[in-house]
Structure 1
């Protein structure tokens, strides 16, 4: 398995080449980054929105590749855009009235099964992690997904979230503590 650090360097090289017009590099950039973008969206916004918001991420990112200079890794840059897409979507949804709060899990499951070959993390894995993370404050959930699920460094996660590295460390530590306490409560409730 490729080291995430090496993958990040390769992704950055591909992004720079794609920005200079290399279509092959562009295709490889999208293929190499698509799984992480989808997983971040699925964890932050839900599986049912992952495909659409992943597409929106690339619609925003690809035109900007020409100006990408590699001052940060392409992975960090792309995860920042992904996070912004999710935040913008949440703001848009909260600003308009909803007709129903129900999630169509059947439709989401059918969609993910049809695309299962595109993602090594199956629908069940995403749902299981989301159930575990569901009770966390959004900032803690975001920090845990970036560092523990996507394997980003604390420094990279801090860049993505636009906060100091100490804030990410604190959010991860508190998120882990929240998960341990929730697990302990479930065990005592079941026993």
Structure 2
């Protein structure tokens, strides 16, 4: 079991951490929740039947850990994302863009993540699983315990919602810039 646990840790730790980080928006909390995932894995690995991949099984456990944390914090209806200070957080990126590219990318990524605030928890989860964790639609359905159709519908609505929110943000920024020019 020790070898299996070590392999799972080495192979999936970064994926689990990233998923939880995007869900709870706190590096420290994500680290704590990853530990909870590993505790649950140790307790239930012998029940893993292999009907899904290990990755989807682990992310499903991570999703349940995050939901349990939200429930304990009574924050399902609150916007944790609104309290997040993007200037103080860093997500590991193994590419090395030029400084000006980094500034542009950082601003664009910041706007995308802020637009995730406007999404429901289900929509946010689908976006994270599909586009950040690179899971297929069927793998996402397995993780969430949903049908493929529900994943597709939620994904479509989330993208539509993100696009609308980002367009509104850009329009508001354009109006603010225009007002400064007039003054």
TM over 0.5: yes
Task: After superposition, give the CA deviation of every residue in 1:71-108 in whole Å (9 maximum; x if it has no partner).
Answer: 1111111111101101111111119xxxxxx95859x7
Aligned pairs for 1:80-119 (under 5 A) are 80-94=60-74, 105=85, 109=89, 119=92
Correspondence for 2:150: 167
| Number of residue-to-residue matches in the alignment | 154
2:26 to 39, 47, 55: 47
- Of 42, 52, 56, the residue aligned with 1:72 is 52
> In the TM superposition, what whole-angstrom CA distance separates every residue of 1:43-79 from its partner, at most 9, and x where no partner exists?
1122241111111111111221122221111111111
Partner residue of 2:117?
134
2:14 is matched with 35
Task: Give unmatched runs, 5+ long, in structure 2.
Answer: 76-81, 96-105, 175-183
Contact 2:37–2:61 at 8 Å: present in 1 too? yes
- How high is the TM-score relative to the length of structure 1? 0.71
What 5-or-longer segments of structure 1 have no aligned partner? 1-20, 96-101
Tell me how large the CA RMSD over aligned residues is: 2.7
Is 1:190 the counterpart of 2:173 in the alignment?
yes
Q: Which runs of 4+ in 1 moved over 6 A?
A: none
Q: Deviations over 1:146-169 (max 9, x none)?
A: 011100011111111111111110
Q: Is the 8 A contact 2:137 2:148 kept in 1?
A: yes
Question: Are 2:161 and 1:178 equivalent residues in the alignment?
Answer: yes
Equivalent residue in structure 1 for 2:128, among 145, 164, 170 = 145
